[in-house]
Amino acid sequence: MHLKLLSLLPSFLVLMSCAEAKDNAISKNAIDSLIVQDSSIVRKYINTITAEELKNHLEIYASNEFEGRATGTNGQKKAVNYLKHYYINEGIQSPINDSVYFQHIPASYLPDGIDASKNVLAFIEGSEKPDEVLVISAHLDHVGIIKGEIYNGADDDGSGTVAVLEIAQAFKQAALNGYQPKRSILFLHVTAEEIGLYGSKYYSEHPIFPLKNTIADLNIDMIGRVDDKHIDNPNYVYLIGSDRLSNDLHNASEKINSTYFNLELDYTFNALNDKNQFYYRSDHYNFAKHNIPVIFYFNGTHADYHKATDTVDKINFSMLQKRAQFVFATAWQLANQPNRPALNEDIKTNH
């Protein structure tokens, strides 16, 4: 390095440090000034999301009966029917009509050799701003049977799937008791994630609600395990994408966590230069690429990732519960606060 440039570095680093400190102060002030919506109500319905119910669902959804839920297979068809009947039994309506909970995806849209498949959609209409829609998503598929072994995908993404079911139930119970969300909420279970994010891509190209009315996507993909980094402190979740499009969304998430949960929010995989590039590898990305703010909730990888050993007995249900509750409380805030999350100025400029 040129000596003259080296001599300039200390003052440059001081300037950078001051700028970062200023940005951090601005962010902290924004978070502190946020008004948490309906905290006593939220605390009540947070507690309806239980480890016991999550386990009951997952023991069915990630069982051998569902044959690993590979896209287009009989096992995956059993999975979508399980989700549909759950929503019918809970009285949570379809956004399409009274009986159609499926968005059909033709085989021609999917890779060669894959049969037609379905996304599953359920819906709670908003009381004041019904045209504005918050999406809560998880992928319903896994990788199926490989060399005679069933890959049950308990964490990937059975954990996210059952979390969405419990979150939907909590919102429905609140609505029945007079606490309907002000904005609408779409509970979106997408297929074909494991073979290339096709289910969410299809939804983004054939949306049930206009994408311009979609305020955010909270995407849950693997939240039932604890990775090696956090083995001694499992009270964490990785967040990816929360600030990439909307600081408003990031600040709301931080505020909700500090108000109710005090999880360690680990942003390691949110770094632009992270080698894993997880930001592009789950279904939220098909919303993000349309400039819809997103958060991807993730527990990190583990030794059983995409193996037949990703089974229910290895799930940490207390952490699955807490992470699902965190998503619920964040969703409540977004559905009920006065304004939808605004895009960052640099995103608006390039939009």
Reported confidence tier of residue 18, pLDDT bands at 50, 70, 90:
very low
Reported confidence tier of residue 26, pLDDT bands at 50, 70, 90:
low
Residue 326 forms part of a structural domain: yes
Q: Report the length, in residues, of the chain.
A: 351
Contacts of 335 (CB under 8 A, 6+ apart): 126, 134, 181, 182, 183, 184, 185
User: In this structure, what token pair is assigned to residue 45?
Assistant: 């319905």
Residue 81 forms part of a structural domain: yes
Separation between Cα atoms, residue 62 and residue 44, nearest integer Å: 29
- The average confidence (pLDDT) of the chain is 93
Residue 12 forms part of a structural domain: no
Number of Cβ within 10 Å of residue 74's Cβ equals 11
pLDDT at 7 over 60: no
Q: What is the pLDDT of residues 109-147, one digit of tens each?
A: 999 999 999 999 999 999 999 999 999 999 999 999 999
Residue 10 forms part of a structural domain: no
Find out whether 337 and 35 touch, Cβ atoms under 8 Å.
yes
Separation between Cα atoms, residue 328 and residue 268, nearest integer Å: 23
Residue 109 forms part of a structural domain: yes
Residue 22 forms part of a structural domain: no
- What total of structural domains would you count in the chain? 1
Angle at Cα 71 formed by Cα 324 and Cα 139, nearest 5°?
15
Separation between Cα atoms, residue 158 and residue 224, nearest integer Å: 9
Q: What is the pLDDT of residues 166-219, one digit of tens each?
A: 999 999 999 999 999 999 999 999 999 999 999 999 999 999 999 999 999 999
Per the listing, tokens 């966590």 go with: 257
Q: Print the domain residue range for 53.
A: 35-350
Judging by DSSP bridges, how do beta strands 117-124 and 183-190 pair with one another?
Answer: antiparallel
Q: What is the pLDDT of residues 207-252, one digit of tens each?
A: 999 999 999 999 999 999 999 999 999 999 999 999 999 999 999 9
Residue 5 forms part of a structural domain: no
Residue 351 has a pLDDT of: 60
Residue 25 has a pLDDT of: 57
Task: Report pTM.
Answer: 0.93
Instruction: Check which CATH number belongs to the domain holding 323 and give it.
Output: 3.40.630.10
| pLDDT average, residue stretch 60-84 | 98
Residue 110 forms part of a structural domain: yes
